[in-house]
Amino acid sequence: MSVLVGKPAPSFNASAVANGQIVENFSLDQYKGSKYVILFFYPKDFTFVCPTELHAFQDSLAEFESRNVEIVGVSTDTEMSHWGWLQVPRDKGGIGGVTYPLVADTNKTISADYDVLVGEYGFDEYGDLMVEGELIAYRGLFLIDKEGIVQHQLVNNLPLGRSIKEAIRMVDALQHFEENGEVCPMDWEKGADAMEATHESTAAYLAK
């Protein structure tokens, strides 16, 4: 598994659905210099755990927007599959009401670039495509700063849903550091004391 923290987020252009409309050539470049991004991957449309996560991001969208964060979802389904799932009401297992962009990684290259692609593929001696497992995405999450640099990443296996509260906490920690130059210790939350980034302060904290 690649560690992308501290590196530029891999760029891409792909079809997406945003606000119920299909968008061609969607790219994260539109946010560079002005917005933070939480880019999250999920395995499949029309499944069970995935809609709980997609709705959780939608329900917390105002909190992310107040922090200048854009939410972008990605799966290896097509844009038409995304659009179709958006037509299904929430109480029927659909994702009706989700407004943030859902990217269609149909050719699997985005998932591969972020190293969250499940399964392996290659060619045999006859040139035939060989695939082991489903080529879908793990539950990856990447916090990207305004300069396009990955500051946090988390990758869960397929059955394990993520925490919106933790995603917000990581945004708060990053922004606190950027604004105050203070580092954030374990379980730090917005409004709590942080630490000056010096050897002396770290030693004092560990001695408590």
Residues forming the active site: 50
DSSP-assigned states of every residue in 152-205: EEEEE-TT----HHHHHHHHHHHHHHHHH-EE--TT--TTS--EESSHHHHHHH
| Torsion sign across C-alpha atoms 155, 148, 183, 198 | positive
Length of the chain: 208
Residue 205 has φ and ψ, to the nearest 5°, of: -65, -45
- Structure-token pair, residue 207: 């001695």
